[in-house]
Structure 1
Amino acid sequence: MPGITDALSLEKNGIVIAIEVTAGGKKDAFPAGYNEWRKMIGCRVSAPALEGRANKAVIELVARTFERPVAAVSLLSGATSPQKRIRVEGISVNEALALLEKSG
């Protein structure tokens, strides 16, 4: 996925990743493409966008993809929007890119 590094930014204790979520799909997928215009990595979850279920599913999927505990992943912004910023603690940009490539 060319340009995917634009969706990742380094932070003091890890990274922040920009994702674009599609909720209520058939199956979970992360990464699920890359939106070059918005500079966001796609994420599909089967959970509905209802009562925070999709956000919870996104956090669990991101944690699983980056091989981190759920407690190391948090939603920074976009709780009610498809565009979200997620913090992942304890990971470098290079490590994140390698795990995204492996999962994609």
Structure 2
Amino acid sequence: MTGLPWRVDATGLTVAVRLTPKGGRDAVDGVQTLSDGRPVLAARVRAAPDKGAANAALLALLAETAGVARGAVSLVSGATARQKQVHIEGDAARLAAALTRATGG
């Protein structure tokens, strides 16, 4: 693993995510490295990529994983792509610790 898939910003964390829709279950599968060397948080959701359902499921999954309210998680970019940027508002250190636990780190 070449690094962490999140970066601290003024209001929390911005997380690079690679989403697998229709993945059979809602789960964070750890950190993966893309072919260009960038780390991403690998996540899967049961929802299909239809009318934003997979994105909504991803945001709910990350809110639960990070221990924040659903309203604290928002999609920054990648609405129709597998690779997304998601912002999570809150204490960056606490959020990073929760994501580290979820990824087995």
Does the alignment pair 1:19 with 2:17?
Answer: yes
Could you tell me which residue of structure 2 aligns to residue 34 of structure 1?
Answer: 31
TM-score (norm 2): 0.87
Cα-Cα RMSD: 1.4
For these two proteins, the number of residue pairs brought into alignment is 100
Distance in structure 2 (CA, Å) of the matches to 1:27 and 1:16 = 24
Note the residue ranges of structure 2 that are not aligned, 5 or more in a row: none
The within-5 A match list for 1:1-104 is: 2-5=1-4, 7-30=5-28, 32-36=29-33, 37-92=37-92, 94-104=93-103
Query: How far, CA to CA, are the matches of 2:101 and 2:40 in structure 1?
Result: 18
Moved over 6 A (4+): none
Question: Which structure 1 segments of 5+ residues have no match?
Answer: none
What's the % identity of the aligned pairs? 32
In the alignment, the residues of structure 2 paired with residue 48 and residue 38 of structure 1 have an alpha-carbon distance, to the nearest angstrom, of 26
